Amino acid sequence: MWKETFTAESFYDFDYTLLRWAFDPLTKLNREERWVDVPVRLGDERHVVRVTGSGTTANPTFDVSSESEEAKASLLQHIQNLFQWDKDLEVVQEHFMHTNLKELFQAHPGTPIVKDFHLYDCLMKVIIHQQLNMKFAHTLSTRFVHNFGSEVDGVWFYPTPEEVANLSYDQLRELQFSQRKAEYVIDTSRQIAAGELDLEHLSTLTDEEVMKRLVKIRGIGPWTAENWLMFGLGRENLFPKADIGIQNALKVYFGMDKKPSYEQMEEWSGAWPPYMSYASLTLWRSIEG
């Protein structure tokens, strides 16, 4: 067992990351003790890394530990990429002090981008979750992982693209997937398994190039691509206008009687770049439990 301690570049609300992950029943965490067990897949190896918040939002420190001694360097690199402790969130905060979201950011300082644990897992999750309410979306993704993934020390790992590529549509239909959604999940996994869709390569491209590539795939629209960019890659300038949660949060924040139009959202967000993802997250946060 090894343990390393890290300090974030600036303030960082780790308790919010735990809240976001707690929405997903697949995540093993404890919000009171402030830890999360992160599933890390390195090639064919599966490792579990515990990340514990040992500081405060204003002075954030983190203890990272695992029993996988031989893979320590790779695991630390994965965790640092996932949590993005090197991002100066005070720069983001200062940016929004000069926008129409000033009061929102004052109420929720230090909100980081909360990434999913792996690029493939995130893509499957957003495909499964699209056009569903949150409760049923998590029910479906949990059934998917419990039936076809694997478990290490109580921590669940998504199945690999190769494993999903070998499934039949009927196997997902039995879990209450619609026929189309079963096709989207399996057909996309087959493209990945065959090397036709390289997520690691996609992660090196610009937001526009990623969007252009992903929306060509049957079953992936702009909302899905934007969410993968934000929660898979941690990109900073995404504003999914079609997201119902964001529309509702804007309705509440600006005291409207009905949800805003795309034109209103476009106008309001004019000063938010290059940090629109932080605006999106903080808007979601303002109406979450």
Banded pLDDT at 71 (limits 50, 70, 90): very high
Strands 61-66 and 2-7: antiparallel
* Residue 80 CB partners (closer than 8 Å, separation 6+): 6, 86
pLDDT of residue 263: 95
Q: Which of 107-116, 127-136, 175-184 has the highest mean pLDDT?
A: 175-184
From the number of C-beta atoms within 10 Å of its C-beta (0-12, 13-18, 19+), residue 188 rates as: buried
pLDDT(249) > 90: yes
pLDDT tens digits for range 19-43: 999 999 999 999 999 999 999 999 9
- The whole-angstrom separation of Cα 261 and Cα 283 is 16
pLDDT(261) > 80: yes
pLDDT of residue 289: 61
**Shortest CA distance to 152 belongs to which of 47, 25, 29?**
47
- The whole-angstrom separation of Cα 276 and Cα 46 is 34
CB contact at 8 A, 220 and 229: no
Residue ranges and CATH numbers for the domains of the chain are: 2-86 (3.30.310.20), 119-231 (1.10.340.30)
| Predicted model pTM | 0.94
Sort residue 195 into left (φ over 0), alpha (ψ -120 to 50) or beta: left
Average pLDDT over residues 72-96: 95
- Active-site residues: which are they? 243
- The whole-angstrom separation of Cα 77 and Cα 187 is 31
What SS3 state is found at 36?
A: strand
C-alpha separations of 120 from 34, 49, 73, 124, 199 in Å: 26, 19, 22, 6, 7
* Burial readout 218-254 (b: 16 or more C-beta within 10 A, e: otherwise): eebeebbbbbbbbbbbbbbbbbbbebeebbbbbeebe
CB contact at 8 A, 191 and 217: yes
